[in-house]
Amino acid sequence: MSNSLPPVKSGKWGRLVFGGVWFLLVIAIVMLWFAYKKDPASIAARIYYVARYGINIDDGGALSGKPCSAPCVFGIQAGKTQFDQVLPILEKNGIASSKCLEEPNVSWYLFTCGAGRLNVEVDTQTNIVVSVWLLPNTSISFGEMIEKYGEPNYVTLDQEALGTIHPRFYWNSIRMSVLLPEVSGETYDVEKTTVVEGISFSDENLYRLSDKETSSYYKPWKGYGIYQAPVVTIPLTPIPTVAMTPSMTP
């Protein structure tokens, strides 16, 4: 017994699907056009940047362990890999040096590859990698990260803009932090299906475990569910009065 739809209904269903895809494509083109009209130089530069340097890093090895397992990322490991090894190791693991830009600074040196997909920071004093962070091409759920690495130790709820929350979770054992997407509001519902935005690994000095154990900024993991943004207190500045105004009389 066949479960296929009758020809007429199948054709109608196909037209509906095609129409929906076409509608979404038109909307995307229109949005891109308006963005381009608003800031043509920036949009054009971004399109060129992604086309020129873009790469597919898949999950960066976070779940697959390819080409190496965390805390190793494409052969690079914070606290171990030396400055002059970064590009050769990336090349060996499939990241062409032509896809990487280099940004020197007084205290650090940054390799950013794949239009920001993979980033490696080196301390210029030690010439050792201090952090590696990535933005996966493949969708990774927060539940998959916990299934593989166990429960995180701490969470921070950054408010980079008023009325927003940008949570980050920390695993002490491999000095890893996982960033979830920013949302508007005062609470964040952390679920197994929440998609991971970024993953980073740090050396011991940058990770600063002692700070996480003593600072109230880091909250303990309490499982899936609602996390409340910290209350931001604004210190009150007293209004000067006559009694508070210093005398100018010699």
Give CA–CA dist 101/96, Å, rounded: 11
What is the spatial distance between Cα 143 and Cα 200, in angstroms, rounded to a whole number? Answer: 17
Q: Express each pLDDT in 34-75 by its tens digit.
A: 444 554 545 555 555 455 677 999 999 999 999 999 999 999
Residue 199: which of 249, 248, 152, 235 has the closest Cα?
A: 152
When divided into structural domains, the chain yields a total of 2
Q: Is the pLDDT of residue 133 over 90?
A: yes
DSSP string of 188-247?
Answer: EEE-TTPBP-EEEEE-HHHH-HHHHHH-TTSEEP--SEEEEPPPPP-PPPPPP-TTTSPP
Quote the tokens at residue 90.
Answer: 């990336």
Whether 86 is covered by a domain: the verdict is no
Residue 136: count of CB within 10 angstroms of its CB: 21
At 137-179, the pLDDT tens digits run 999 999 999 999 999 999 999 988 888 999 999 999 999 999 9
* Domain-terminating residue out of 18, 34, 53: 53
- Does 41 map to a domain? yes
Please give the average per-residue pLDDT across 2-29, as a whole number. Answer: 56
Q: Is residue 78 part of a domain?
A: no
In a domain, 219, yes or no: yes
How confident is the model at residue 212, as a pLDDT? 85
Residue 95 inside a domain? The answer is no
What is the SS3 assignment for 179?
A: strand
Is the pLDDT at 189 greater than 60, yes or no? yes
Q: For residue 76, tell me if it sits in a domain.
A: no
Give the structural domain span for 35. Answer: 8-53
pTM for the whole thing?
Answer: 0.74
Residue 16 inside a domain? The answer is yes
